[in-house]
Structure 1
Amino acid sequence: MNDAQARSGSIYRADERGYFGEFGGAVLPPFLVEPMAEVAAAYEEARRDPAFADELQTLLAKYVGRPSLLYAAENLTRELGGAKVYLKREDLNHTGAHKINHTLGEALLAKRMGKTKVIAETGAGQHGVALATAAALVGLECEIHMGAIDVEKQHPNVVRMELLGATVVPVERGGRSLKEAVDSAFEVYAGAPDEYLFAIGSVVGPHPFPTMVRDFQSVVGREARAQILEAEGRLPDALVACVGGGSNAMGLFDAFLEDESVRIIGVEPAGEGLDTDRHAATMTRGVTGEIHGMRTKVLLTADGEPAPVHSIGSGIDYPGVGPQHAHLEQIGRAEYVSVTDEEALRAFQLLTRTEGIIPALESSHAIAHVVRLAPTLSEDAIVIANLSGRGDKDVDFVAERLQKG
């Protein structure tokens, strides 16, 4: 499909059933098998169609504003000491995050399939805003399911979605967060798959979504690779990105998978601590299981159900993870660490004050690990962190949190 994919070996790709090693697949009730097969076939056809790729690339350039900047964060680098820090500025995209990269692809695919509506979950609201934007652009109805906790926490994004014409459905059951939003949206989709395309918001869910969303997001890594070679004449020593479901991370990582000299580091939420039940550190504390139509690593209760999870970043409080991430860890190609709420909050403040860039709380998890990592590396080392979204949506919450101390 592209140069990065052509360079990547099969060890990093799913097989025809959507499995990355032992992870992935399409673990579905019988009534969803045919709709998911339809999506897989339609995507396979679309990705081979130059006209589809051309339309998407045109929108990414002329509507989203790609390529996004690869910014040398000189003030942050001086503050930390050690490695030179670059930020991939996905926060500068139209709608303020990386999510627009794949929602445009999903909306174009829905239109191609003759669907009239798109439906999805959202946590922080960035995927919901991006999908509502893409739906408005191509002329589709849009329905977004969002945990009631996140509806309150991310009110500005709720307003944006509604202004864009989307119907926002607050989900009150269970933990009232991202996992329940996914459940709720899947239930509606299952009742009318002829009308809807389920536009999953990350590299999660049944095949083909982990592959499809990664492919749409892979523009991030392709750009970063070319940009760092132009700026420094060599590849970075490390890549860092936050991981909930893991779409922004896979977008950055994909173009570098064959480059074994480049460390690949995913950062997940330790919340209030790994020794509590108030975290979402799936890669660190999860076990192999099934969730939302895929086999992957999952945080489970003693009863074997997906566990309630927590993160200060609403977009990464998910008890599962994309199956490709689980596979990359298993084969030793990527490493996964965790960052607490307090560490993310301090990183949010640090980047704001040193660079005049207000990051999303999700992205602040990546910055928090850079704060740890950069001083341990030499001044000749290079680290690229994916700044996956801007923090406009978080400023009121952060102000209230800081006021409380």
Structure 2
Amino acid sequence: MIYLDNAATTPVLDEVLEEMLPYMSARYGNPSSLHSVGRDAKAALDKARERICNALNMDGSGSMVIFTSGATEANNLAIKGFAYRMLRDGISKDDLMVIASSIEHESVLEPCRALEKEGFNVRYLPVDKDGMLKSESLEHILASSKCKSILVSVMFANNEVGTIQRLKEIAEVAHKYGAFVHSDAAQAIGKVKVDARELAVDMLTISAHKAYGPKGIGALCISKDVRLEPILHGGGHEYGLRSGTQNVPGIVGLGKVAELVPRFIALYQGRVRQLRDRLIKGLLEIPYTRLNGHPEERLANNAHISFLGVNGEDLIIKLDEHGIAVSTGSACSTLKQKESHVLRAMGLSREEINGSLRLTLGIQNDEQDVDYTLEVMADVVRELRRVSPYSKYRS
């Protein structure tokens, strides 16, 4: 199988698994226990936090890494935790605002919608045809707002089309008006430099399984100035912000991923980028196709293409029959079977949305994978168009 769905998940590297395995058997302690077995587990957590802080260049004085079950929980904690803490601190809902881009992952948009139902002020920022947010639209909202406390949530890189936002510029505008900034960096980690200090963001979400680590573990990295209310209640783990016995093997795996980030970035910005360019060039040679997302400021492994006159799900099935795994977009939204809100926000037509396909390379792919995919894709698209009711695309 040629796996080109690395934005959905990635295989666990052997060296990551090797570091995790002892904590599934011999070193099985609960990190909250006071005895030596527990202290050993606690030391593993501390080491992972240190690795993550180093990988993200976080300010060591007061910043925290809060381990969660993944990026979805981390995003919920950032957004709901911020809103509920402001309420607890005496700020009314009328004086609170959450701002998110219109192309955020559902794990950001759904908490925002939930807050809307509770009476909070929530605003959504538009993007251009390439999926790029304009800081002017954010400044317009902030300049006209009288809210006392504001959170801006803008993803580092889009999970569907791969567009990389100008996050530093966005953070500068937000901070000019005293707003806090959260960024979902789940797709960016290991593919591009993520420097918390340089970006000047207040909260960052990361996930292990998007970068050759295990599923079921992520983290919310927060600066010393951020105050959150827990959304899971219990024994007060993770500095009182995320109750529940920590997933020590998963956390160890995430820590190892963080240590490997420089190597991953070198691979993505080198060989993987070259493969992606080869893939995009070949796909665009197929008639009636278009590249979605920013042509340059995009993740080094992302090729998102619309094939007019073809249904994307039919393409997935046909390619799977030829041993190629791809997707139409966010794996987390597949079960909902709904039109991509990202492509809709970018202004694509229904036909362009229905014929879209996301191909995301990984460090395990090679030229043979790309060339075989291009060969098969041309034949499959031609076959599907031949039986399509859209006769103008037949060739």
Q: Which has the larger radius of gyration?
A: 2
TM-score where L is the length of structure 1: 0.35
